[in-house]
Amino acid sequence: MNIFGPIIAGIWIAFWLYWAVSALRNRSRFKRSQSRASMLLLILALIAVWAIFADLLPAGLLEEQVIPAGLPAGLAGISITILGLGFAVWARVSLGRNWSAQPGIRVGHTLIRTGPYRIVRNPIYTGLLVGYAGTAIVIGVLWAFLLVLLLLAAFLGKIREEERFLLEEFGEAYEQYRREVRALIPFLL
C-alpha cells in the first residue's frame, strides 16, 4: 500500500467497531429472515476483502497501478471513503431496530422512507460501495477496483432477497417506494 494505508485502515476499523457495537445495542427478534446459506456470496466477498488487505493475492496483472499514488489520490480517496461510510452510518441510524446483517423482517418492522432512504432504497450498500471505491483510489491497483465490482454483485444479490421480504411485508406501499426511489445510485440503478 502507500503512506495513506494506515489512515484508510484506521477509518475502516473505526467504522466496523461502530457497526458491531450498534448491532449489539439495537437487536430485536426476526419475524422471518433468509437462510444462512444465501449469505454465501456476501461472505465470499468479505473473505476477498480480507485476502486483499492481508496481501494474500498473487502479484501480476491484479497489482497493476491504475491510479498513481500521491497526495491528490490519497486525499481524494480518504475523503470519498469517509463520505461513503458516513452515508452508511446515517442510513444505519435511520433504520434503528429495523436493521439486520441478513435480509429479514423484524418484529414491529416499519418501512423507512426518510433520511438517506429518500435518496436510495439501499443507502447502507451505497455508502459501503462508495467507501470501498474511495479505498480503491487510495490503493490505486487493479484488484482494488475489481473488488468494488465483486461487492456490487454481492450487494445486488442481497438486495434481491431483501426486496422480496419487503414486498411480502409491505405490498403496494413498498412497490410504490420502488417506483419512486432507485436501489443504489440516484437516477440510475
Strand, coil or helix: 31: strand
Is residue 138 within 8 Å of 74, Cβ to Cβ? yes
Using CB atoms within 10 Å of the CB of residue 2, give its burial: 0 to 12 exposed, 13 to 18 middle, 19+ buried. middle
pLDDT of residue 79: 97
The answer on pLDDT for 42 being more than 70 is no
Lowest mean pLDDT among 18-22, 38-42, 168-172: 38-42
Q: Would residue 63 count as lying in a domain?
A: yes
Side-chain-side CA neighbours of 174 within 13 Å: the count stands at 17
Is residue 189 situated within a structural domain? no
pLDDT of residue 5: 85
Shortest CA distance to 162 belongs to which of 39, 44, 45?
39
Residue 11 lies in a domain: yes
C-alpha 67/C-alpha 39 separation (Å) is: 32
53: domain range? Answer: 5-17+31-180
Domain tally, the chain: 1
| Rg over CA atoms, the chain | 17
* 4-13, 32-41, 105-114: range with lowest mean pLDDT: 32-41
Residue 58, pLDDT score: 58
What integer pLDDT is reported at residue 20 of this predicted model? 85
pLDDT digits (tens, 9 = 90+) for 56-99: 655 676 778 899 989 999 999 999 999 999 999 999 999 988 88
pLDDT digits (tens, 9 = 90+) for 164-183: 989 999 999 999 999 999 99
Residue 185 located in a structural domain: no
Residues found in the chain = 189
What is the reported pLDDT for 174?
A: 96
Residue 87 within any structural domain of the chain: yes
pLDDT at 54: 59
pLDDT at 181: 96
What is the identity of the amino acid at 180?
A: E
- CATH of residue 152's domain is 1.20.120.1630
Predicted TM-score of the model (pTM): 0.84
Q: Is 127 inside a domain boundary?
A: yes
**Contact by Cβ (8 Å): 184, 125:** yes
Question: Phi/psi at 122 (nearest 5 deg)?
Answer: -130, 60
Q: 58 lies in a domain?
A: yes
**Residue 24 falls inside a structural domain:** no
